[in-house]
Every structure is written in C-alpha cells, then in structure tokens.
C-alpha cells in the first residue's frame, strides 16, 4: 500500500488559540475521529456537539474561544488519566 494515502490520527493537535485570533479563516480542528463521549464531547477534537455544529457560522473570535476551550478539555483529559 502507498503510505502517502494513510492519515495519522494520533498526531498532536495543532491548537493555538493565540495564533487563530489574528487569522481571517480558522481551520477546523477536526481529526476525522468524530465520536462523542458520554458528555457529548468529541474524543478526536475535544469540541462539544454544539461547537462542532456551529463551527461554519462562527466568526474568528468565536472559533478562537472554541479552540481555547477544546485545548483546556484536552489538557484536563490528560490529567484524569
């Protein structure tokens, strides 16, 4: 198989809320895992269902806030392990 066609889902997340505040277009942090835990949080990108659903209509500041919260959730998950 051609290795270039395979995606790495376990790569570190590229979430830097400080950098995204100044960008006109903030890319989605989706990692194509798309599975919600019992609290309604995606286990791939650490966004809540409403944050995922509203991503396309959010402005840059709102997206930066979602990224900040998702990053905190990721850190909290690591502390609970």
Spell 25-48 as b/e; 16+ CB within 10 A means b: ebeebebeeeeeeeeebbebbbbb
Q: Is 5 part of a structural domain of the chain?
A: no
Quick one: pLDDT at residue 81?
A: 60
Query: Whose CA is closest to 40, among 51, 50, 48, 32?
Result: 48
Q: Is 72 part of a structural domain of the chain?
A: yes
Q: Model-level pTM?
A: 0.67
- What tokens does 43 get? 């286990």
Q: Is 42 part of a structural domain of the chain?
A: yes
What residue numbers bound the domain in which 57 lies? 29-81
| Count of domains forming the chain | 1
> Alpha-carbon distance 33 to 22, whole Å?
27
As a residue count, the chain comes to 81
Query: Whose CA is closest to 70, among 25, 26, 29?
Result: 29
Low-confidence ranges of the chain (pLDDT < 50): 1-13, 15, 17-24
């Amino acid at each position: 198989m051609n290795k270039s066609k395979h995606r790495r889902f376990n790569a570190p997340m590229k979430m830097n809320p400080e950098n995204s505040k100044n960008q006109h277009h903030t890319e989605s942090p989706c990692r194509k895992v798309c599975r919600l835990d019992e609290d309604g949080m995606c286990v791939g990108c650490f966004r809540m269902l409403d944050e995922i659903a509203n991503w396309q209509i959010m402005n840059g500041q709102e997206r930066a806030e979602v990224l900040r919260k998702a990053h905190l959730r990721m850190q909290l998950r690591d502390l609970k392990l």
